[in-house]
Structure 1
Amino acid sequence: MRRVRRGRALRRMPARTGSRIDIRRTLRESLQTGGDPVLVRRLAPPRRNPGFVAIVDGSRSMAPHAGAMLQFARALVRRTRRARAFAFSTSVRDVTEQLRDASRPLGKLGTAWGGGTRIGSALAAIVAAYGSLFTRDTVVLIASDGLDVGDAAALDAALRAVRARAGAIVWLHPHAGTPGFRAATAGMRAALPLLRALVPASSADDFLRLTERISTPHG
């Protein structure tokens, strides 16, 4: 999370370099050098902490991989209050609080787990119900193999709605690290132009290297 800082905050804080001089600290330091401001202290706006929205595909085709994706989502929401997690199949469910409480079983997710995949309608439902989550400081993590029984045009429209609000969309694909992998499904072809990155997500090392694959924008 430290490596995925977003744009600059408005409030300025003490920093080694910065465009504005911290007059108070500079004058205080000058008392140690006879009133001469030998050490000039500066102010700069720090990077803002990011928010995260993790969206996990729980469809039948994701059965071998969805457990690891949920473990990753659990670690994320337990690490920061600025993260939300959703599971989806033919419908969507907010699973943030269930994942955040380690003593609480996830329970049955109904049509949000184990069925077909309607990625576009799931994303559209999340944007409609939780639109305030998506800001320029938000990284959206979609964990899916891209196999979609819905309309590719609906996925394209939903991804564009997310991209217009969020800072970045990163797609975690369980097969992206496989030699010869190509994003050949209609859903993935629709998604690729709108993604910050398409990254492998099939092992613990893949998740640990995730931030290395995300280029952090400025501003």
Structure 2
Amino acid sequence: MGIFSRDKADNDTSSEQPHEEEGSPLDEPVLLDDAVDLKGNIDFGNQANSKMSQRARPPTFSYGIEHAIQLMRELPEGELEIVVTVVKKTLESMSVTVTDIIQDAEFKEQEIQQKSDQLIQEIEDLESEISDRKMQIDALNADAKETALVKNHLKLAEQINKDEPSASPPQLDLQEDSVAASEEDLNAEALDHQSIPLNQLAATDSASKDPHTGSSQH
């Protein structure tokens, strides 16, 4: 399919070569980064310089789901069954078990789910804190409103007290005028009481005189 850089001639001559001894480079794990060159070609034949993947979750997986994902990205589009069949056979030729990759994928899914649940919980905690902060802000705003209202009332009372001295003198003048009027009324009543005895005295004198002689009967 033209997706691997390993020559077909190498595959034909591999059967004529003696069997590799234990500990040969073929037994070493392969990293996808080592199998992809600068041009994006994937080379599964260059295994001598490969090393153990540090990103593999279980240490027994030398070729995990991350490598498979990267491999699928590099493959050309085509019939899915043909592509996955070629990938499976290629991996098996490298002593990579597809079942291990599937298990690694399931392990990764669990990690993703746990991380997602953790983030959801953190968001809920933050939303709870935000709600508490909003309640505190509402309480502070209500306190500030009440404080401003009482302050304005006190300022109004203070202003009224300052204005009272200027208004009091006219009230005192009115009181003085009322007192003066009362004194005049009392004086007039006293004069009236004094005039009544004089009139009665004149009437008494006229009654005591003799009507014929005009002299007093005494």
**TM-score, normalization by structure 1:** 0.23
Higher-Rg structure is 2
Q: Comparing both chains, which one has the higher relative contact order based on Cα–Cα distances under 8 Å and sequence gaps of 6 or more?
A: 1
Q: Which has the higher strand share?
A: 1
